[in-house]
Amino acid sequence: MRSVSVFGATGSIGESTFDILMRQGGPDAYRVVALTGGRNVARLAAQARALKAEVAVIADDTLLPELKAALAGSGIAAAAGQNALLEAADRPADWIMSGIVGAAGLAPGFRALSHGGTLALANKESLVTAGPLLMAEARAHGARILPVDSEHSAVFQALVGEEMEAVEEITITASGGAFRDWPLDRLAHATVAEASTHPNWAMGQRITIDSASMFNKALELIETHEFFGIDPGRIGVLVHPESLVHALVGFRDGGVIGHLGAPDMRHAIGYALNWPERMHLPVNRLKLAEIGQLTFAAPDPARYPALRLAREVMAAGGLTGAVFNAAKEVALDAFIGGGIAFTAMANVVEEVLSRLSAAGTLGKAAQSLDMVLETDREARRVAVEMIETMQRT
């Protein structure tokens, strides 16, 4: 029986993973080792009971009594806090979903890799902040990383049986997010509610807002570079409002292989769970005759400054990705909290990058996870300081 763990089980990716696991036999088909959540005790406990997990971990340690009460009589162990998350990652499993949002997902995923097995990576921030370290950790322990981001799963699928040296270009698509068709001068007044509505995908709030700003696509550009080891100059982004073509791989003989499918993360999650087999999955089938036409356009650099920043980050390399991600997370928190305008998020990130690059050390390769986490903390400190200054003036 395969053993599985799901980090971030209570989130959007986690719920889709739970759905697929249940459809594929649940506790009769899988030995479920660990499920983790951030604060949603009720959902975590319900999932743990349904999947007969060995341990359920809640990241917020003040919620441990509540989790214990919710699991009373089930025989499922309850734990809480950052160390408990790492201990859960120390429990070997054949397949681990890395579905925590943000840099918080890095350390547990990294730890899970040290026990071999397969890490299904939804947490793109891990590759953005510590790509080379993560890939090296997987190699060192004979672990495998399978992409779960829909674009990267699409590229991975298009590359089956192909050699990377035959690849000329990888193009990932973007819906354009909530504000694709807004006049540019309205963007500064966009509300959190408006930014939290995605035209095609149902996802967590943070990634949905990141789709509107294209910080999500910016992270994915870096993710593509780190995961597939392709030069940044050969990675493109296309705005594709229908979100049906997820990625295109262009080869040196002029052929292009595209991956199409309904915008439903259960495809990419199920593909990673069943890989290398393909099993029946409950996603809508594409009816192209009904859809009629697919549209594509180059992204507008004035609307989406995040894409330019991502290219600067890839050119600088080293620890720059950790700064980029941390500053983005703080700016996003500030936008969600009503502290800054939608358009100010890119300004904050650009300014933090420029301040921390001035020291001239960011381009150095990270030697350890601690270095990445230290850089993350420093970037957050500078970003918070900068936002406070912005708010005072």
- Cβ closest to ligand NDP, residue 5 vs residue 12: 12
Q: How far apart are CB 149 and ligand NDP at their closest, in Å?
A: 4
- Cβ closest to ligand NDP, residue 168 vs residue 374: 374
**In what helix (H) or strand (E) does residue 135 lie, and over which residues does it extend?**
helix 124-140
Question: Crossing angle, helix 369-392 and helix 344-357, to 10 degrees?
Answer: 120
Long-range contacts of 358-365 (CB under 8 A, 24+ apart): 361/319, 362/316, 362/318, 362/319, 362/320, 362/323, 363/316, 363/317, 363/318, 363/319, 363/320, 364/318, 364/319, 365/132, 365/317, 365/318
- Cβ closest to ligand NDP, residue 123 vs residue 224: 123
- Cβ closest to ligand NDP, residue 175 vs residue 320: 175
Residue 288 buriedness (CB in 10 A; 0-12 / 13-18 / 19+): exposed
DSSP 280-305: ---PPPP-HHHH-----BPPPTTT-H
List the alpha helices (DSSP H) in 215-319: 215-228, 265-274, 288-291, 305-316
Cβ-based neighbour number of residue 278 at 10 Å: 10
**Max CA separation in the chain (angstroms):** 62
The CA-to-CA distance between both ends of the chain, in Å, stands at: 60
Closest CB to ligand NDP: residue number: 11
Q: How far apart are CB 125 and ligand NDP at their closest, in Å?
A: 5
- Cβ closest to ligand NDP, residue 13 vs residue 172: 13
- Cβ closest to ligand NDP, residue 15 vs residue 54: 15
Cβ-based neighbour number of residue 315 at 10 Å: 11
Q: How far apart are CB 189 and ligand NDP at their closest, in Å?
A: 25
Q: What residues make contact with ligand NDP under the rule CB under 6 A?
A: 8-14, 37-40, 59, 99-101, 104-105, 122-125, 149, 201, 203-204, 206-207, 265
Give the amino acid at 383.
Answer: A
Q: How far apart are CB 213 and ligand NDP at their closest, in Å?
A: 13
- Cβ closest to ligand NDP, residue 118 vs residue 351: 118
